[in-house]
Structure 1
Amino acid sequence: MSNVNIVVGLSGVGKSTVLEEAMLLADEEYEVINYGDRMYETAKEQGLADSRDDMKDIGVEKYKEIQKDAAESIVEDAEDGNVIVDTHAAIKTPYGYIPGLPKWTVENLDPGKIIVLDASAKELYRRSTSDSGRNREHDSPDDIEEYRQIAREMASAGCVLTGAYLKIIENKKGKAQEAARELIDTLKA
């Protein structure tokens, strides 16, 4: 059984909150690794970025290399214990959607489970418009619904490539602790 599990979700779904709550409820220890942070650390070590903003200026081929290197470092961390990778299944760009878990990344991570943390499009829109402290990419509930579906499809594709289980957990308003319990139960199964 893989020591790596992946939790994905759109901005505003409450991944950080649910993961923090889940770690308080867990009987086992898990290291939660934000994949974007690990990519930035990798790029910084290679002298390619001084800030997360610099990541967007890295060429496509080098960016793919950084994704691979970051995944390899996460796999090394998983040799010593259970790892949860916090990331996005899909990333919306001005040119369309790109996978947050491309083939070379998800196959390298070889997760036991890919868990989609989700909420309704209307709830995600409400959260994004009420949170002035963060810049969300959601323009309308219809836009969010499309993004949700694309992200689910990309997460499913990751499961097809690796044989990982797919679980969708709803994070309803005010119910983060319930979502956290379901996440822990899923990880233990």
Structure 2
Amino acid sequence: MKVVVIAGIPGSGSTTVLNKVLEGLDYVNVNYGDIMTKIAQEEGIVEDRDSLRKLSPDVQKDIQKNAAKSIREMSQVNNIIVDTHCTIKTPAGFLPGLPKHVLDELQPDMFILIEADGEEILMRRLSDKSRTRDMEKLSDINLHQEMNRAVSMAYAVLTGATVKIIKNHDNRLEEPVEEMINTLK
């Protein structure tokens, strides 16, 4: 069975595309952060997801590794799509969402990046009243997508996985959905 990682920066529409794709494919959707939270809760060290980032780096690293191992075990009986972040933008710079110790356990077969034009992402963020997001300039949005591409290729070098970039333009949802379904078949 396959392990496919899907990622896109906030506003790219990755969740929208993924939800539509899952209507027609036999894959189990796994959110990496949810698995980490479940493991930490079972160990009695956090009450909620927001508490994860307050743990020591060593504890977080162990939880990340255990989450990857758990997902890999799930892939023995199901095709898995892991919804996560390739990079995480922090005040100190970009962090890899899937460090090497995670990739070693996860052993993904493919990375799929969902992208949109920076202007589209900016407008989606501005019109989304359900979320509170930091305001970013168009150049920041474009840089984040470039970092996702670079990190995805680095992940591919480390794992032998492929990287597929799928564009999700406004009012054309059927196109990225079809492309992703064809890629995953």
Residue 62 (structure 2) pairs with residue 94 (structure 1): no
Alignment partner, residue 70 of structure 1: 67
**% identical equivalent positions:** 39
Residue 92 (structure 2) pairs with residue 121 (structure 1): no
Deviations 1:122-179 (A, max 9, x none): 1111111110111234511111111111111111111110010110000111222211
Q: Which residue of the other structure, out of 136, 161, 166, is the alignment partner of 1:164?
A: 161
3-state secondary structure, aligned to 1:55? helix
Count of residue pairs the alignment pairs up: 185
Moved over 3 A (4+): none
1:4-43 matches, cutoff 5 A? 4-26=3-25, 29-43=26-40
User: Structure 1 CA distance, aligned partners of 2:89 and 2:168?
Assistant: 21
Residue 129 (structure 2) pairs with residue 132 (structure 1): yes
User: Structure 1 CA distance, aligned partners of 2:45 and 2:71?
Assistant: 19
Closer/same/farther in 2, CA of residues 89 and 74 from structure 1, 3 Å limit: same
3-state secondary structure, aligned to 1:41? helix
User: Structure 2 CA distance, aligned partners of 1:145 and 1:138?
Assistant: 14
Closer/same/farther in 2, CA of residues 90 and 186 from structure 1, 3 Å limit: same
Normalising by structure 2, what TM-score? 0.96
3-state secondary structure, aligned to 2:4? strand
User: Structure 1 CA distance, aligned partners of 2:102 and 2:135?
Assistant: 26
User: Structure 1 CA distance, aligned partners of 2:56 and 2:13?
Assistant: 31
Residue 76 (structure 2) pairs with residue 55 (structure 1): no
User: Structure 1 CA distance, aligned partners of 2:156 and 2:89?
Assistant: 20
Gaps of 5+ in 1: none
User: Structure 1 CA distance, aligned partners of 2:45 and 2:121?
Assistant: 34
Normalising by structure 1, what TM-score? 0.94
Contact 1:4 1:75 in 2 (8 A): yes
